Structure 1
Amino acid sequence: MKVEQAYLGTLLKENHLIKDSLLKEFHFEENRHKQLFKHMKDLTTAGQSVDVVTLSVQVDIQAIGGVSYLNEIITYANAEKVDEYGQLVLNAWKEREKRNILEIARNENWEIGKVIKSLDDINEVKTDDHTSIKDALARIYEAPWQKQEVQKGIPTGIKRLDSLTNGFQDGEVTIIAARPSMGKTDTMLHFGKQAGWQGYLPIVFSLEMPEAQLTTRLMASTGSYNRAKMRNPYKHLSPNQKDTWAGAIGHLSNTNIQIFDNAGQTIAEMRAKTRKLIHEHSKKPIIIIDYLTLIRPQEFYGGNAHLQVTEISKDLKAMAKELNCPVVCLAQLSRAVEQRQDKRPMMSDIRESGSVEQDADVIMFLYRDSYYNADSDDDTLEMIIAKNRNGPIGTVLTRYNKHTGEIQDVYG
């Protein structure tokens, strides 16, 4: 293959590029190219120069084409295009792997979920995920004498919550759990809007509520419109509210929220859709999922809910790490919370909680006292941080307008 020749010829001519190569020998199609690349890597690791002479002395040069072949591929060298050549080699390998998987899937009659996951894994191949302890320590050697920037995550729009969690962090999974009608969806949309207004890309996978209902909720909370009036804005909105409609639409549009509302999506499907949007928008995403037990697992496990949630929980964490972005997922609580005098949730109230407790980086419960007291006019929504892998736990108070869905910072 010409592109393999061009890539290897470039490395042979410009030895300093060999150390920067993230390819592995199996990425090459021709056997002689696999061998040549391995020998070049080995010589570089040993601190030796790589050229026709050193290769002739150290290896069986005839097995990789002989001196004339090495001189030939050097003519294709172009250091300015080495990254492009490397990507083309990797893309060609992915295509070969894809064909192999599809052939095996056809012969063995794989279910569609397994096919999608296998193809998705090819796209997520890391060419080099190895770090030696020496390299890791070298990176932090000067840390005590250098002022460090605080790693701020995607802001929540609630100051005290940001002080506890430092925002939504890349590679972390946040679970937001509550009983039905406690305000989970409005909380989710609040976080999505705040992220969008700060220049991030909120990607919402709504597995239960259709897009039209989410859009209505978003408009109600953005424009401070009573949701009951949103059923017929023409009839029920006041003239003053109609005057603010266009402004609310413009403000909400600036969030650039992306909504997928197909039911029963798998993590693999979400990853693929997210990667496509990242490519289209070139923005850091935050993935928001409503909700955990509506995600379709790859395996059925004979209907065992615990095993299904365990798979989903681990895949959520893997997706956050692989895409290097925050993942926020809503979860339902069991009815056990209703049996206690203090109805504030606990970890054990999360349905199939074991794996979720283990894999989540942050677990947040929502609680409104007025939910259990219909006569109360208390608009307090408690955000209870019950687990925070990299920070403190605690309770954050917010104000929640159940008529519009707005959430406001008590401390702001």
Structure 2
Amino acid sequence: MSIAEKVFLGSLMKAEYLLKDTVIQPEQLESLRHREIMRKIIELNHAGKGIDLITLTTLPELESLGGISYLSELLSFANVEKFDATEKIILDLWKEREKRNILQLAALSDWEIEKVIAELEKINQLKMEDHTYLQQALSNIYEAPWEDQLLSRSVTTGIKELDEMTGGFQGGEVTILAARPSMGKTDVMLHFAKTAGWAGYLPLVFSLEMPEKLITSRLMASTGGFNRAKMRDPKRMLTEDQKNKWSDVIGNLTATNMQIFDGAGQTIAEMRAKTRKLMHQFPYKKPILFIDYLTLIRSSQVYGGNSHQQVTEISKSLKIMAKDFDCPVICLAQLNRSVESRSDKRPMMSDIRESGSVEQDADVIMFLYRDRYYNKESQNYSLEIIVSKNRNGQVGTVDVNYREKTGKIVAQKEQSVI
């Protein structure tokens, strides 16, 4: 029988206060006898009785628990100092058994791969190491007044004024970037993604609508300053100067290490699995996730077509993913048509489809607005990035120039632009 389980049970008998602290449930022990002993310990505790060796030996089921000799043996294994480490061993062993059981059940019942991934993810999400001593937390920020926080703690947006307002993209936070169609959402997302890549992060782009070839073409156009219309036939339509620049642009984009996943209808569980795989491939790079877009993510359940429940599940899952991987998650969202009926067409929170859960779970919500989209005669080429929610900072509007023909984002207060 598992020595870790003996140490665990012996420690509970020696220091019963540990019972209130443990995350282990009887069902997570491998030995049937150990499960029964833990159940009896819990029953005694609930009844206000001690759970020491003497009390346990008075139980009528003593023989089925192994008798006095076995309970005495358990007590001899007690090691309160190693209790936390023992818990982790037991939980890890239980996870491995559960994964094997899931795979066997999946094979017998012919589960779809998405269901298998989702069930395995539920097991992986169970963890114990979510606690930090305040002393440790304080030591982590001891040097903060002398450190460049933007470089050390967050991912730059590539727009200085926006960085100053939001602090950049923070690990564990979800940013929603919302706008009406054709407002420039994807171009802004790709600007953020390549900027993060050049800053040393690992951008993972989950494009649920636009195929990889179109994403790549947009990246080339915005980075090289090529007219998007000419990207359909570069050999015939690009100038010689542009062709000579082509390989340099490819080199610059290769340096971002950007990863593109363009499968339609991906679930959060699938995104988690792909992210974890890439984190193993690039162990020294922090990931940053970009998802285009929210309502194209497939939920784990159908909910009878109830879109509100689907969006609520997805919204919460995005936040859990950001926290579990300690990485920023930027998710695009479409706005409903109500914005078109107003005289001032700048978006607001209620324009987000199924906005309640999104507004609650997101740390930052940004809207995009272009005057030229509604007024073709306008000479205003600004793209407004409206920060409407910022859990850890200020709100406001940052104007950037948006070059529609190339998709390039140009910060207005900076001349040298990525």
TM-score range, shorter chain: 0.7 to 0.9
Residues 7, 200 of structure 1: CA spacing in aligned structure 2 closer, same or farther, 3 A cutoff?
A: farther
TM-score of the superposition, structure 2-length normalised? 0.78
8 Å CA contact 2:4, 2:90 repeated in 1: no
Residues 215, 88 of structure 1: CA spacing in aligned structure 2 closer, same or farther, 3 A cutoff?
A: farther
Written as runs of structure 1 = structure 2, the 5 A alignment for 1:140-155 is 148=145, 149=147, 150=149, 152-155=153-156
Tell me, in whole angstroms, the C-alpha distance in 2 between the residues paired with 1:144 and 1:230: 48
8 Å CA contact 2:312, 2:358 repeated in 1: yes
1:290 to 2:331 alignment = no
Instruction: Out of 318-327 and 110-119, give the one that drifted further.
Output: 110-119
Q: Give me the CA root mean square deviation.
A: 3.9
The aligned amino acid for 1:275 is R
Q: Aligned residue for 1:178? A: 179
The aligned amino acid for 2:252 is H
SS at match of 1:175: strand
Tell me, in whole angstroms, the C-alpha distance in 2 between the residues paired with 1:238 and 1:90: 62
Tell me, in whole angstroms, the C-alpha distance in 2 between the residues paired with 1:375 and 1:167: 34
Residue 31 of structure 1: CA displacement? 6.0
Tell me, in whole angstroms, the C-alpha distance in 2 between the residues paired with 1:404 and 1:144: 42
Tell me, in whole angstroms, the C-alpha distance in 2 between the residues paired with 1:154 and 1:145: 21
8 Å CA contact 2:24, 2:87 repeated in 1: no
Tell me, in whole angstroms, the C-alpha distance in 2 between the residues paired with 1:382 and 1:64: 75
Residues 169, 58 of structure 1: CA spacing in aligned structure 2 closer, same or farther, 3 A cutoff?
A: farther
1:311 to 2:310 alignment = no
Residues 386, 69 of structure 1: CA spacing in aligned structure 2 closer, same or farther, 3 A cutoff?
A: closer
Tell me, in whole angstroms, the C-alpha distance in 2 between the residues paired with 1:309 and 1:382: 26
Tell me, in whole angstroms, the C-alpha distance in 1 between the residues paired with 2:88 and 2:142: 38
SS at match of 2:289: strand
Q: Residue deviations 1:301-360, cap 9 Å, x none? A: 111111111111111111111111111000001111111111110111111111111111
Q: Aligned residue for 1:343? A: 345
Q: Aligned residue for 1:43? A: none
Residue 366 of structure 1: CA displacement? 0.4
Q: Residue deviations 1:276-297, cap 9 Å, x none? A: 1111111211110000010011
Q: Aligned residue for 1:190? A: 191
Q: State the identity %.
A: 57
8 Å CA contact 1:178, 1:333 repeated in 2: yes
SS at match of 2:154: coil
SS at match of 2:375: coil
The aligned amino acid for 1:245 is W
Q: Aligned residue for 1:250? A: 251
Residue 139 of structure 1: CA displacement? 4.7
Q: Aligned residue for 2:222? A: 221
1:261 to 2:226 alignment = no
Q: Aligned residue for 2:400? A: 398
Instruction: Out of 114-123 and 300-309, give the one that drifted further.
Output: 114-123
Q: Residue deviations 1:386-411, cap 9 Å, x none? A: 01011100000111111111101112
TM-score of the superposition, structure 1-length normalised? 0.79
8 Å CA contact 1:220, 1:405 repeated in 2: yes
Q: Residue deviations 1:236-262, cap 9 Å, x none? A: 111111111111000000001101100
8 Å CA contact 1:398, 1:410 repeated in 2: yes
Q: Aligned residue for 1:80? A: none
Q: Aligned residue for 1:238? A: 239
Q: Aligned residue for 2:61? A: none
Residues 381, 63 of structure 1: CA spacing in aligned structure 2 closer, same or farther, 3 A cutoff?
A: farther
SS at match of 1:228: helix
Q: Aligned residue for 1:169? A: 170
The aligned amino acid for 1:370 is R
Residues 63, 201 of structure 1: CA spacing in aligned structure 2 closer, same or farther, 3 A cutoff?
A: farther
Residue 66 of structure 1: CA displacement? 8.6
Tell me, in whole angstroms, the C-alpha distance in 1 between the residues paired with 2:304 and 2:253: 43
Residues 399, 146 of structure 1: CA spacing in aligned structure 2 closer, same or farther, 3 A cutoff?
A: closer
SS at match of 2:277: helix
Tell me, in whole angstroms, the C-alpha distance in 2 between the residues paired with 1:125 and 1:339: 46
